[in-house]
Amino acid sequence: MNDGTRRQRRGDTRRRVQETALALFSEQGYERTSLREIAEALDVTKAALYYHFRAKEDILISLFEDLNRPIDELVEWARRQPPSLETKQEFLLRYSRALTDAAPLIRFMQENQAAVRELRIGGMFKDRVTALMDVLQEPGASLPDRVRCVAALITMHLGLLTLTEAEGDHESKHRAVLTVATELIAQAHHASAPPRPGKRHTDPPGTTGKPPQEPLTS
């Protein structure tokens, strides 16, 4: 067996551990799930599980890091773009796609908030939200506009989860969530923009905050 094959098998086993653990965490709760139960569900020994993860919190952190790597890359992309409304709308469009893969973890974190607050992943999640807010929020934004940005993130995180059982196809529900989030960002962006000289600043009539049809260039 060559080194490439070994790495592939280790990667496959690692993913199996992550998926099995997250399923058990979601079904039973994080605190009520043990490493022994995860090993039994995988049909491996506890020692074999230790080869990949020394503690169940390590499994959770690895999930967070793997599923959120595309989001980290997206934040870095946004920081290189002009701080325009178009950039923010494109950011939300791309963010909604990245959230699809992270949905199981977000659902777990929502349902196990008390446990998450006591773990390192809680601090990691706060840092991630801060980075997202830095992208979406205008410098010196008013409190109402900061609330709009927070509300846009909450809409993105919870909208798709809470609409899972609602009527309608996935694409329609996804688009509805994205539309509401981009409208909130558009309101915050226009309210925070300085007024033009000689004119009283107001939000442009009919602003809908719809995301751009074509992606911005990198």
Please report the DSSP string for 100-152 in residue order. Answer: HHHHHHHHHHHHTHHHHHTSHHHHHHHHHHHHHHHHHSPTT--HHHHHHHHHH
pLDDT at 46 over 80: yes
Q: Render pLDDT for 82-96 as a digit per residue (tens, 0 to 9).
A: 989 999 999 999 998
Whether the CB-CB separation of 25 and 109 falls below 8 Å is answered with: no
Neighbours of 74 (CB within 10 A): 20
DSSP state of 216: P
pTM (2 decimals)?
A: 0.71
The pLDDT-based confidence of 9 (bands split at 50, 70, 90) is: low
Give residue 190's pLDDT.
Answer: 78
C-alpha span between 205 and 190 (Å, rounded): 11
Query: Is the four-CA dihedral 41, 45, 46, 48 of positive or negative sign?
Result: negative
Residue with token string 């399923």: 23
Cα separations (Å) of 162 from 8, 109, 116, 194? Answer: 36, 14, 20, 36
Neighbours of 2 (CB within 10 A): 7
pLDDT at 143 over 90: yes
Longest dimension (CA), the chain: 75
- The overall average pLDDT reported for the chain is 81
DSSP state of 34: -
| 3-state secondary structure (DSSP) of residue 206 | coil
The pLDDT-based confidence of 181 (bands split at 50, 70, 90) is: very high
